[in-house]
Amino acid sequence: MNEPRRRGPIVRLIIASWQALDFTRRLLLNLLFLIVVLLLLLAMLGSGRLAPLQSRTTLVFAPQGRLVEQYSCDPFSRSLARAAHSEDCSEVRLRDALRALDAARTDARIERVAVFLDDLQPSGFASLREIAAKLAALRAAGKQVIAYGEGYSQGQYLLAAQANEIYLDPMSPSGVMLDGLAAYRQYYREALQDKLGVDMHLFKVGTYKSAAEPYVLDAASPAAKEADLYWMGDVWQRLLDDIGRARGLTPAQLQHYADTLPQQVVAARGDLAQLALQQKLVTALKTRDEVDALLAERGVADPDADGGFRQVGLDTYLQHMDGALPQTDARPQVAVVVAEGEISGGIQPPGRIGGDSTAALLRQARDDDAVKAVVLRVNSPGGEVFASEQIRREVAALKQAGKPVVVSMGDVAASGGYWISMDADRIYANPSTITGSIGIFGLFPTIDRTLGKLGVHTDGVATARYAGAFDITRPLDPGVAATVQAVIEKGYRDFTGKVAKARGKRVEQIDAVAQGRVWSGAQARQRGLVDAFGGLDDAIADAAARAKLGAREHWQVRFLEADATTFSQWLSDLMQSRAGLALLRTTGAADWLLASRLHGLSQTAPLRFAQAALDRRGPPRVTALAYCFCEPR
């Protein structure tokens, strides 16, 4: 029997060194883990204490990220984004911004509001006009509003225009960009059909239903251009009116500035900041340090605070407001259900509308005896027809249960977004809301010619004439095409019929303003698709009045949303503390964790819906879409 081979001294040295290295690694990781736990526990113990809000405080309104109706990221991911200074998951809820500005108007501790908009990614103009109205109300109440920016997009400038004083960095790389609204898209017909051999079969009803045109045309249709220019012109003119009224300028002056911007920039020798000053769009040119010094001089100097002046940020101010609320409240409720994003079937995460998940929230409101009325806040370009119908049915069921339903439209409530809105007792919209687009389409690709270019062909047998008819590797049978078109036309009849019934009009009247045409909120009200102008607060007050809840102090507002997990919320609370944020930034963990949690969508909306339909198992079904590409840039 052979004896085992003895290891040489070099091998033994290598093994011993590796074991020592492994032990050291595990020891350091365990120590790091213990330090992290200790810091997080200390952060948790200290996170519940807020410093008192002192008099003569400046509210710093510096929203970071996208303006949204509903968070699309969980609390932990938002905290990671904040720690990593990342734009991913950086979001500001519109309702939080509105209630903070509204509270500051009557809060004696708030002396002024400093508005910093460089990190705000504006959404639609309906939301921005709501914030602008709150800033204007602050100014009218005697609270000084001071705005500063390294540059202003036209959405940012709408907000800055409401300030008493507007400052722009003298080295601004963009100045004040009032350049108008545009809706340009890429068109893929030549690439898909001629180059790749992909045939995109479009089925639609509605002369102006243009959402899928990029897949079957090489340029926008005349009808699409006509409709887009009509509603965009209305929104643009309202933007000019709002800015002009706030700055003492005429819309004609602002239009001239937009139309002659290149010539004026050349005349200003490329100095965009001086151009904005010459055009009276800003009060003066100052750096951020100079603005901070101004705020310290007019307010209360505080060397320990950012910028050197006594201040409170938006998030902290909201914590002060929420800390004053009672822990329990037995008053009857007006429930608000947010429907934001594309409409898809099934259960969807926050920031998307799910036929099952959004309907479940409405059903929850119906079954809850404490809820006496419901406001559906809609900010959606539409999506799947069947999912939209699921939600509409729950709106109808709420009304049948005796609970009033009022819709508040946000930036966009078009196509499927209008479908879920139409049965409400009353529909509110901003004049700059984008709505309408009452039409249906379906999109189905076939790739038989694509495969043919590669020498791949499909053949076989079937037991019935149309078996396998939805196989995308085969040419689309004319009989199948006629069937799909019939289904789409039936969907349009359903759409216009339901709108007619809900709005108390004849189908012919609705068809005249439908056909897939998009309207501004003002144009929609003129055509009977919207009842009144107003924001979320107006809709909530209307719902409470319909439920006969009495004076405002006799009822409460409750947002019905899918709750974050307890663990995620706990981590978020810890990460929002100074110790937690410092830890993440020091170790670089925030960037790594955030990258591991995020993923994007690479397809455009119609192709996503088409792919989802093709991926479904079971019998073939036609996925009709009520979707609108109607957000200007």
Read off the tokens for 490.
């039936």
Four-point Cα dihedral 532, 427, 235, 248, nearest 10: 40
* Spatial distance between the Cα atoms of 225 and 235, rounded to a whole number of angstroms: 15
Read off the tokens for 582.
């410092």
* Spatial distance between the Cα atoms of 405 and 240, rounded to a whole number of angstroms: 34
User: Which H helix or E strand runs over 563?
Assistant: none
Count the Cβ atoms, other than its own, within 10 Å of residue 21: 10
* Spatial distance between the Cα atoms of 227 and 126, rounded to a whole number of angstroms: 19
Determine whether 408 is an active site residue: no
Among residues 134, 143, 204, 209, which one is catalytic?
Answer: 209
- In one-letter notation, the amino acid at residue 406 is V
* Closest to 160 (Cα-Cα) out of 130, 136, 126: 136
Helix (H, G, I), strand (E, B) or coil at 339: strand
Listed in sequence order, the residues at least 6 apart from 183 whose beta carbon sits closer than 8 Å to its beta carbon are: 228, 232, 629, 630, 631, 632, 633
Count the Cβ atoms, other than its own, within 10 Å of residue 327: 4
* Closest to 437 (Cα-Cα) out of 474, 463, 412, 467: 412
Listed in sequence order, the residues at least 6 apart from 342 whose beta carbon sits closer than 8 Å to its beta carbon are: 352, 353, 380, 381, 382, 383, 605, 608, 627
User: Which H helix or E strand runs over 45?
Assistant: helix 9-47
* 430: phi then psi, degrees, rounded to nearest 5: -80, 150
Among residues 415, 421, 437, 577, which one is catalytic?
Answer: 415
* Spatial distance between the Cα atoms of 626 and 301, rounded to a whole number of angstroms: 55
* Closest to 430 (Cα-Cα) out of 127, 131, 95: 127
User: Could you tell me if 261 and 175 are in contact, meaning their C-beta atoms sit under 8 angstroms apart?
Assistant: no
Determine whether 225 is an active site residue: no
Strands, E assignment, 316-397: 333-340, 343-344, 353-354, 371-380, 382-384
* Spatial distance between the Cα atoms of 443 and 425, rounded to a whole number of angstroms: 34
What residues are paired with 205 via a beta bridge? 440
- In one-letter notation, the amino acid at residue 18 is W
Count the Cβ atoms, other than its own, within 10 Å of residue 280: 12
Catalytic (active-site) positions = 209, 415
